[in-house]
């Protein structure tokens, strides 16, 4: 018997007519799915020129880490977790997958990934905003390889520029807004005889003096103060050249803040340099409200300050410590900083207008994070993997056991300090400990890992980019990371 082929278009056209007869139409899943499609159909492309661009980067927040954050935030709200939607995951945001590799590295580093987003070209491992002929650690290859940054471009359009980070301002991702260096680790000094570039901290102050950077808030105070000089927190600076860059910035007319009190006293009438910690700012889980402002606090201040420019602004905001907690193998601090990032995104969206502001939410890279199965709905993302229940939605009452007869957590890492292998002489041996839910959900718990490493590594997996505002719809399919720059540039120059 000859089969009749029915086109997808014909089925789609007939759907409204027979949908009411489908048994699943009474399901919440069915109606929510149709509502999602309806919202996408109704979405209109914004092809106006962007006055402002805000890029929010959760360092190390790839697809896996973002998944864990979604569950964590949802479970903190009393949900099972999986059904939760983060602020940037709704239908009014466009999205794409992003390939993060560097010119010479399958597994990327934060410096060239952030540099790719700020210049439009991929870069080499451990370098910032230098072309492909530059060599890591070779100061002589800087000249002639300097790339023009997005910050420099928008400054030429009389826009303001700000950079905010919970990491040191001289760290890779924030530094990519303003610095050009053959080594991301030259935060407060360069090798003897290197005359082709300054250290990263000095470059920030130079960019403030030149009117390129109008606001900079984050950590890293020690790289701006000389050796022997006691900093605001009672520690000492690290600069060997004897130059006090904090004093230099103040002498040039910048405001300076170092804690929540001085942060609250900042005014809107002159450039801002805020250094809230000698190194990185505290993890959100450890932050005292009277010590350091939150990422959302800094986001609000930055937008209010930069919005004074009628020509617009470019602002990069980094949740830098998502990355560091992943390196530590500590899920609790990873996800609490992820939650703080989501709050900053929601606030940035609230304080701006989609009509004239392109907001981009992304990550520079992912980590060697892994998720176990087969866990029932609502298994605590920080805790043990509980079995799938035969009835209802929530997981069964008993945790699943591995072949060794011991429970395991939902979340782990392929490598890191939590490795189950322990060095014994010239060999590595070990077995997994018998975990309890209380152990696994402790704030200081280090997730189990396979390969022993002192610090967990990045991975080469794709990350997501989400966007809303002018030309956000250009983020689609799978893109190279440097394409993010090109969307930003098109948005601010569109006719």
Give tens-digit pLDDT for 311-370: 999 999 999 999 999 999 999 999 999 999 999 999 999 999 999 999 999 999 999 999
pLDDT of residue 63: 98
Which 3 state secondary structure label does DSSP give 168? strand
Task: State yes or no: pLDDT of 150 exceeds 90.
Answer: yes
Which 3 state secondary structure label does DSSP give 50? coil
Counts for the chain of helices (H) and strands (E), in that order: 14, 17
Helical ranges in 110-176 per DSSP H: 110-119, 150-155, 172-175
pLDDT of residue 281: 98
Average pLDDT value for residue range 86-98: 98
User: How far is C-alpha 179 from the chain's CA centre?
Assistant: 19
Average pLDDT value for residue range 60-77: 98
Task: State yes or no: pLDDT of 1 exceeds 50.
Answer: no
pLDDT of residue 2: 46
What's the CA gap between 137 and 224, in Å, rounded?
Answer: 21
pLDDT above 70 covers a percentage of the chain that reads: 96
pLDDT class of 465 with cuts at 50, 70, 90: very high
Task: State yes or no: pLDDT of 239 exceeds 60.
Answer: yes
What's the CA gap between 368 and 399, in Å, rounded?
Answer: 24
Average pLDDT value for residue range 448-470: 97
pLDDT digits (tens, 9 = 90+) for 28-67: 999 999 999 999 999 999 999 999 999 999 999 999 999 9
Task: Give the Å distances, CA to CA, from 328 to 269, 283, 364, 418.
Answer: 40, 12, 18, 9
431 among known catalytic residues:
no
Average pLDDT value for residue range 430-459: 96
pLDDT class of 297 with cuts at 50, 70, 90: very high
pLDDT above 90 covers a percentage of the chain that reads: 93
Q: What is the mean pLDDT of the chain?
A: 95
| CB-based contact 51:355 (threshold 8 Å) | no
Collect all residues with Cβ–Cβ distance below 8 Å to 274 and sequence separation of at least 6: 216, 217, 218, 256, 257, 258, 262, 263, 266, 298
What's the CA gap between 30 and 16, in Å, rounded?
Answer: 13
Active-site residue (options: 7, 26, 94, 110): 110
pLDDT of residue 226: 98
pLDDT of residue 416: 97
pLDDT of residue 289: 84
């Amino acid at each position: 018997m000859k089969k009749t082929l029915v086109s997808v278009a014909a089925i789609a056209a007939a759907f409204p007519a027979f949908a009411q007869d489908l048994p699943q139409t009474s399901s919440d899943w069915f109606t929510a799915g149709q509502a999602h499609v309806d919202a996408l159909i109704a979405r209109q492309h914004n092809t106006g020129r962007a006055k402002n661009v805000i890029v929010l980067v959760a360092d190390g927040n790839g697809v896996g880490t973002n998944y864990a954050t979604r569950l964590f935030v949802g479970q903190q709200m009393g949900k099972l977790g999986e059904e939760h939607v983060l602020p940037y995951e709704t239908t009014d945001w466009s999205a794409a997958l992003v390939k993060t590799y560097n010119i010479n590295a399958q597994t990327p580093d934060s410096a060239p990934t952030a540099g790719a987003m700020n210049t439009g070209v991929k870069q080499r491992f451990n370098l910032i905003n230098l072309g492909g002929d530059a060599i890591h650690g070779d100061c002589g290859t800087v000249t002639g390889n300097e790339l023009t940054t997005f910050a420099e471009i928008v400054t030429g359009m009389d826009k303001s520029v700000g950079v905010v980070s919970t990491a040191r301002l001289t760290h890779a991702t924030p530094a990519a807004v303003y610095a050009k260096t053959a080594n991301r680790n030259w935060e407060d000094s360069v090798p003897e005889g290197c005359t082709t570039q300054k250290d990263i901290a000095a470059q920030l102050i130079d960019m403030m003096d030149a009117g390129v950077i109008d606001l900079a808030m984050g950590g890293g105070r020690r790289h701006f103060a000389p050796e022997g000089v006691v900093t605001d927190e009672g520690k000492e600076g690290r600069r060997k050249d004897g130059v006090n860059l904090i004093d230099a910035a103040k002498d040039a007319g910048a405001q300076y803040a170092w804690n929540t009190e001085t942060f609250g006293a900042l005014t809107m009438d002159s450039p801002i340099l805020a250094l809230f910690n000698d190194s990185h700012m505290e993890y959100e889980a450890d932050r005292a409200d009277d010590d350091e402002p939150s990422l959302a606090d800094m986001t609000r201040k930055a937008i209010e300050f930069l919005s004074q420019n009628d020509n617009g602004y470019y602002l990069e905001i980094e949740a830098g410590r998502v990355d560091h907690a992943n390196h530590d193998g500590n899920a609790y601090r990873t996800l609490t900083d992820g939650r703080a990032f989501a709050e900053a995104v929601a606030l940035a969206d609230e304080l701006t207008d989609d009509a004239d502001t392109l907001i981009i939410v992304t990550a520079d890279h992912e980590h060697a994070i892994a998720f176990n199965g087969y866990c029932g709905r609502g298994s605590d993302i920080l805790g043990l993997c509980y079995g799938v229940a035969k009835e209802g939605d929530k997981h069964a009452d008993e945790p699943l056991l591995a072949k060794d007869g011991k429970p395991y957590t939902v979340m782990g890492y392929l490598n890191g300090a939590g490795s189950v292998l322990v060095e014994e002489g010239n060999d590595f041996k070990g077995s997994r400990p018998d975990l309890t839910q209380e152990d696994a959900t402790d704030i200081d718990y280090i997730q189990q890992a396979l390969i022993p490493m002192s610090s967990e590594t990045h991975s080469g997996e794709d990350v997501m980019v989400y966007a809303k505002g002018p030309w956000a719809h250009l983020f689609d399919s799978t893109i190279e990371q440097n394409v993010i720059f090109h969307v930003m540039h098109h948005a601010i120059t569109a006719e």
